[in-house]
Structure 1
């Protein structure tokens, strides 16, 4: 009897300690894993969000780049971390596409993570080497259809935003061009500027500076409205690709089993970061849009992830694209 009471008391003590820890959260720095290389668009946006969350939480949120395998290495690391709120993941639409690209994943994005919220959306831009023959986006579509065996399309690796845009473009135009995969956006963009490849479609963060400088040619944006920072570029859906839309969204997740008080604090910190005027202005300069409070919630992110997983799975399987494990 005494032994049972001791065990019960110990269990209650552990539960109370856990509750107290959750209520006091955070008491040390938080790691926000960005599963792509430093210097890329995801890294840039993650550091902006981390800055705002650090201010809101009163503890530093440190960005850790755990890159490789289309974001799956960093994602797996977070999935296997303790659900205490001190290890988080910020990843884009590849959270929804990787299950189709990597059939042997050791985690389930829908079941092994606690969603916190969508944080940012940004369109992509169709760009090409500066001396590419087509003058308008409509011309570009016609050119690709007529020269599909010759056109080369650069992307930052299987599962990257530029890869996904290329798949969607080829499906919409009924073409299949030669895709050239690079290890990251930087090398792909360098070869595009050097004229080694013909075209690309990538996130606004990556292309605005080069389009403005005239290093590459911009054709159209993939959003349903013009991008203020690229006012001269038309909307793809209104210029030859009816219904075409691609928004690269980013969300934040924690490991499954996160205590509710910790989840509440993290969600509020995300809201505070996205409401920060300086952060919103910087995002806007990059062609990105901070998510609304209604979308920056666990429920909204989970529903969006499910919808995006259902959308991209058939497209990827139809294209016959898979990545090595």
Structure 2
């Protein structure tokens, strides 16, 4: 049997060894390939951006970064897996609007909490936009509003489910413009809305221009307004809603995050690799092609930005009784 004094010394020695091992592991980071969990299906906007920047970022690291799509529960399924992974920097997750706003607002999924995450950086932001189908016969924002005023509840507009950014956008538009749309919600990614626009099931839809880039280029749909005050440098023919005299700015973003208690050294290494990739000409030029706005915030700023976004959006939801 150890004496009390000796036992305390043994405990302290073991603790010191564990701390030393943790510091050494963080200093050697990464020691294996890094898993980047994208909580949306493959092929969507978040998936494409995540794959592109990680392909460039891994060039700064001795190990590879591989993307794993784990969709479900409005991003919660994949992100819960991320937060339950070993907090050593080898698992990273992608947060979007639903991860920061929709899930926390509704307390929708047991075990999901932003408190279990350590944000690394914000990579991009994308304003929501209204696009119209060529089947609709609508060619401008003004024509869309005229049609909605002439026949209330008949102009079919597709958005993500209640509580999402696009859903908030359409309800604010109805209030500001004095119109009523036939709002149809679609779960999952914007690909379902794209199919509905192509088939004539929808007259219009709200998501980012980047999400609809393929069918915009084909001429099957047309962007008529972007819900921002900043002109899109890729889609220069799509006016901002502020240029029409209205104040409305909504959209999504890409934030990278690691499990809570991930060592600061690992966070710093990841942040540096992704910042180098973000600044690269390859990534910046690619963003221009797909119409996505580069919008970097580092680890020291992104948590405060997320907290502020939650506060302002939740107030808006309270005002709209959503």
Task: Give TM-score, length-normalised by structure 1.
Answer: 0.89
User: Over residues 7-26 of structure 1, what are the superposed CA-to-partner deviations in whole Å (9 max), with x where a residue is unaligned?
Assistant: 32222111111110000000
What is the rounded CA distance, in whole Å, between the counterparts of 2:137 and 2:217 in structure 1?
19
What is the rounded CA distance, in whole Å, between the counterparts of 2:287 and 2:259 in structure 1?
27
Q: What is the SS of the residue equivalent to 1:13?
A: helix
Aligned to 1:119: 123
Aligned to 2:62: 58
1:88 is matched with which residue: 92, 95, 120? 92
What is the rounded CA distance, in whole Å, between the counterparts of 1:191 and 1:74 in structure 2?
27
2:185 is matched with which residue: 172, 181, 199? 181
Aligned to 2:268: 264
1:231 aligns with 2:236: yes
Aligned to 2:212: 207
User: Over residues 85-120 of structure 1, what are the superposed CA-to-partner deviations in whole Å (9 max), with x where a residue is unaligned?
Assistant: 1111112222331212445553332x2211111111
* Worse overlay, 66-75 or 221-230: 221-230
Aligned to 1:315: 316
Residues 129 and 195, structure 1, Cα contact 8 Å, conserved in 2: yes
Paired positions, count = 316
Aligned to 1:245: 249
Q: What is the SS of the residue equivalent to 1:205?
A: coil
1:15 aligns with 2:16: no
The structure number with the bigger radius of gyration is 2
User: Over residues 204-231 of structure 1, what are the superposed CA-to-partner deviations in whole Å (9 max), with x where a residue is unaligned?
Assistant: 2222231232101321122323223222
- Within a 5 Å distance, the mapping from 1:159-178 to structure 2 comes to 161-178=165-182
What is the rounded CA distance, in whole Å, between the counterparts of 1:220 and 1:283 in structure 2?
20
Residues 118 and 250, structure 1, Cα contact 8 Å, conserved in 2: yes
1:4 is matched with which residue: 8, 16, 31? 8
* Worse overlay, 171-180 or 199-208: 171-180
* Worse overlay, 170-179 or 262-271: 170-179
Q: What is the SS of the residue equivalent to 2:68?
A: strand
What is the rounded CA distance, in whole Å, between the counterparts of 1:218 and 1:259 in structure 2?
44
Q: Which runs of 5+ in 1 are unaligned?
A: none
What is the rounded CA distance, in whole Å, between the counterparts of 2:227 and 2:202 in structure 1?
21
1:26 is matched with which residue: 13, 27, 30? 30
The alignment yields a C-alpha RMSD, in angstroms, of: 2.1
Task: Give TM-score, length-normalised by structure 2.
Answer: 0.90
1:220 aligns with 2:225: yes
1:285 aligns with 2:289: yes
Go from structure 1 to structure 2 and tell me whether the alpha carbon gap of 1:137 and 1:82 turns closer, same or farther (over 3 Å shift).
same
What is the rounded CA distance, in whole Å, between the counterparts of 1:160 and 1:49 in structure 2?
25
Q: Which runs of 5+ in 2 are unaligned?
A: none
1:273 aligns with 2:277: yes
Q: What is the SS of the residue equivalent to 1:31?
A: strand
CA shift, 1:142, in A, is: 3.1
Residues 35 and 90, structure 2, Cα contact 8 Å, conserved in 1: yes
